[in-house]
């Protein structure tokens, strides 16, 4: 069962009341709508356990969250989604849903827009077509209504000087400080350019550290417990990152998280109970 335990000497901070904890969760920019739903449910269950003996907070939270569209406990999916981990960008995956990004190599030749030449409609054999008649057969130019202050999209072909063709080759680059991945895409014509970029980042990728987590780790920010045991149960195959389970303990440089603040936690202990029973 869940039992409240005293805080360690190095973590002695004023404990938040339930309204203060709810306000902190809502003001945390890292918390999305689903993570907020999970944190609020656990906070309510912990507050209820303080007032009623013999109440298991995690069982209460699981019951209050109900089931999702797949008729499975919503609590199970939300806890699995909160497991600390690094999620690479979608463009770095082997399967890109909307097609690979455009080639970012330099253009092989400068882009020069060519004016559109309207086609003259073909007349029946033996029927001469006058210039005015051919002009009358053309459709009028379309009228596009835009809101005030509208600016047309920038032309990356002329302003950036990049290729922009459909990509075929992918090169992954790992940040030497955070281990985060950046994907570079190149078309078939820029195969040699892709090989050159891959050779340039090969040594950097080998020396890059384990990626700093960028997802999950919010439950340990507000509640103290054996969350590693809980995460392992609801997310099979998950392994804890070396940076710790709590998102507050991860590197907090502006390039990585941008959220250096810490939060006081409710001191609870998960013991004498398996994750299947909570």
173-227 residue pLDDT tens: 999 988 999 999 998 889 999 999 999 999 999 999 999 999 999 999 999 889 9
pLDDT at 8: 35
Last residue of a domain, one of 211, 230, 252: 211
pLDDT at 1: 35
Residue 119 located in a structural domain: no
Sign of CA dihedral 47, 52, 54, 55: negative
Q: Which of these, 224, 208, 211, 237, lies nearest to 83 by C-alpha position? A: 237
- State the Cα–Cα distance between residues 25 and 237, nearest whole angstrom: 29
Tens of pLDDT along 220-268?
Answer: 999 988 999 999 999 999 999 999 999 998 986 554 544 444 554 544 4
Q: Which of 68-72, 93-97, 215-219 has the highest mean pLDDT?
A: 215-219
Q: Are residues 162 and 178 in the same domain?
A: yes
Q: Are residues 54 and 80 in the same domain?
A: yes
pTM of the model: 0.67
Task: Report the run of H or E that residue 158 belongs to, with start and end.
Answer: helix 156-159
170 and 184 Cβ atoms separated by less than 8 Å: yes
Structural domain boundaries enclosing 272? 2-86+213-277
Alpha-carbon distances of 218 from 18, 65, 77, rounded to whole Å: 17, 17, 14
Which residue did the predictor score with more confidence, 105 or 156? 105
Q: How many residues does the chain have?
A: 278
Domains in the chain: how many in total?
Answer: 2
- State the Cα–Cα distance between residues 70 and 247, nearest whole angstrom: 29
Q: Are strands 266-270 and 223-224 parallel, antiparallel or unpaired?
A: parallel
pLDDT at 107: 80
- State the Cα–Cα distance between residues 31 and 77, nearest whole angstrom: 16
In the sheet that holds 223-224, the strands lie side by side as: 2-4, 266-270, 223-224
Q: Are residues 102 and 182 in the same domain?
A: yes
Quickly count: other Cβ atoms within 10 Å of residue 204's Cβ: 12
Q: Are residues 161 and 244 in the same domain?
A: no
Q: Are residues 174 and 245 in the same domain?
A: no
Confidence of residue 272 (pLDDT cuts 50, 70, 90): very low
């Amino acid at each position: 069962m869940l039992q409240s335990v005293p805080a360690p000497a190095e973590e002695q901070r004023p404990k938040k009341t339930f309204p203060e904890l709810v306000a902190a969760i809502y003001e945390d920019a890292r918390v999305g709508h689903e993570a907020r739903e999970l944190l609020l449910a656990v906070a309510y269950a912990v507050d209820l356990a303080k007032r009623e003996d013999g109440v298991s907070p995690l069982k209460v939270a699981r019951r209050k969250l109900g089931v999702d569209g797949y008729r499975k406990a919503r609590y199970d999916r939300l806890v699995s989604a909160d497991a600390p981990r690094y999620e690479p960008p979608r463009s770095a995956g082997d399967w890109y849903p909307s097609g690979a990004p455009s080639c970012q190599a330099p253009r092989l030749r400068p882009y020069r827009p060519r004016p559109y030449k309207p086609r003259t409609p073909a007349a029946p054999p033996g029927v001469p077509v006058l210039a005015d008649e051919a002009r009358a057969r053309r459709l009028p130019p379309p009228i596009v209504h835009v809101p005030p202050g509208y600016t047309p999209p920038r032309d990356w072909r002329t302003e950036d000087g990049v290729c922009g063709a459909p990509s075929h080759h992918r090169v992954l680059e790992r940040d030497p400080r955070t281990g985060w991945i950046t994907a570079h895409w190149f078309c078939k014509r820029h195969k040699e350019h892709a090989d050159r970029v891959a050779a340039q980042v090969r040594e950097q990728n080998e020396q890059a550290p384990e990626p700093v987590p960028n997802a999950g780790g919010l439950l340990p920010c507000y509640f103290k417990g054996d969350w590693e045991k809980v995460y392992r149960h609801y997310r099979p195959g998950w392994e804890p990152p070396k940076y710790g389970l709590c998102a507050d303990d991860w590197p907090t440089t502006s390039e990585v998280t941008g959220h250096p603040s810490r939060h006081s936690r409710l001191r609870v202990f998960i013991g004498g109970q398996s994750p299947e029973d909570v």
